[in-house]
Amino acid sequence: MDGERAETYFSTADQFLQQQGGPSDGYVTESRDDFELFHKVEHRQHRLVIYPGNILHSILVDEQSDIDPNPETGRLTANLFFEFS
């Protein structure tokens, strides 16, 4: 999404939220009324996934195994932003 489409996106999202009552609870791991999953990259240890920052996205998380406060057994993620000129 770029600056030219931001107003249309936020207007459409606001209309959707008013009609549907807000997003569903929980992590999005498959398509549903308020989200379409069109590609996924499964979790694998030591994997790096890179994509443009203007793509709307969601993490694929297994709440049984990925949510763990212990860094040796839990899934660690980092959000990094690079700008190339």
- CA 21 to centroid of chain Cα atoms: 20
Domains of the chain by residue range: 22-85
Tens of pLDDT, residue by residue over 12-66, are 989 988 887 776 777 778 888 777 888 888 878 888 888 887 787 777 887 777 7
Phi and psi torsions of 32, nearest 5°? -155, -175
Tens of pLDDT, residue by residue over 41-51, are 887 888 888 88
* Prediction pTM value: 0.51
- The residue length of the chain stands at 85
- Measured CA to CA, the distance from residue 61 to residue 42 in angstroms comes to 9
The predicted pLDDT at position 11 comes to 93
- Measured CA to CA, the distance from residue 3 to residue 38 in angstroms comes to 23
